[in-house]
């Protein structure tokens, strides 16, 4: 997903969800409020949490030396913002939006800093999707050790034909080195991911179903 497309997506989301970001939070956070109405002990409305790096606290800058900055920033952001967001959330769906890929077989490949510092948190809190741009391609990779799906949609404005790192292909479900885009459809218990070419033809489709929790939450 091109970064401008991510911003458009999040702008649309923000009109339909409650903003739960505090003044101290660095990463932006949107969470759809959970309905008080239930059926079979499950909320009737869709509930989801989206956390992303598309905006940071006004008037505060960090010394960036790579994908992730130095130790102080990692401790502040990852431990405080991400963990507090996950712990406070009752959302059924958990989605992280970032610019750089964690897993990719495209031009930039896997981002080792994110694998070391971000991925363990995502696994701990059962994140469903990590969505990103940066690589100019479309791809879907499944994590072998958790339910996380890595979704790259960076081919809206251009694509890099034939630029593939095949050695990074563990868990690869789909890769396309042409232009196109991705859509995500969420219902209370089901997610549907689709990748399209520029003509609107569906190139890849993937579904995930979550079972009701049968609790009083």
Catalytic member of 5, 107, 108, 204: 108
CB 152 within 8 A of CB 1: yes
CB 140 within 8 A of CB 174: yes
Give the closest residue to 91 by CA, choosing from 129, 117, 142. Answer: 129
Half-sphere exposure of 34 toward its Cβ, with a 13 Å CA cutoff? 16
SS3 label, residue 152: strand
Write the CB contacts of 40 (distance below 8 Å, at least 6 apart in sequence).
Answer: 212, 214
Alpha helices (H) along the chain: 3-14, 71-74, 83-88, 112-117, 119-124
Tell me which residue has tokens 């885009």: 181
32 counts as catalytic = no
Residues labelled as active-site residues: 108
């Amino acid at each position: 997903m091109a970064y401008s497309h991510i911003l458009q997506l999040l702008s649309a989301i923000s009109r339909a969800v409650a903003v739960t970001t505090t003044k101290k939070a660095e990463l932006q956070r949107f969470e759809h409020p959970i309905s008080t109405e239930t059926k079979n002990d499950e909320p009737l409305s869709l509930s989801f949490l989206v956390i992303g790096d598309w905006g940071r606290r006004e008037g505060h800058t960090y010394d960036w030396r790579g994908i992730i900055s130095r130790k102080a920033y990692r401790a502040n952001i990852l431990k405080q913002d991400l963990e507090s967001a996950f712990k406070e959330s009752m959302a059924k769906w958990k989605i992280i939006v970032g610019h750089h890929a964690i897993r990719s077989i495209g031009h930039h490949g896997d981002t080792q800093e994110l694998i070391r510092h971000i991925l363990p948190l995502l696994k701990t809190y059962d994140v469903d999707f990590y969505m990103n741009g940066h690589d100019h391609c479309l791809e879907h990779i499944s994590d072998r050790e958790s339910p996380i799906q890595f979704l790259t949609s960076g081919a809206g404005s251009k694509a890099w034909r034939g630029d593939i790192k095949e050695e990074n292909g563990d868990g690869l479900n789909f890769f396309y080195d042409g232009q196109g885009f991705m859509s995500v459809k969420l219902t209370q218990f089901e997610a549907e991911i689709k990748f399209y070419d520029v003509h609107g033809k569906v190139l890849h489709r993937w579904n995930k179903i979550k079972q009701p929790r049968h609790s009083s939450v």
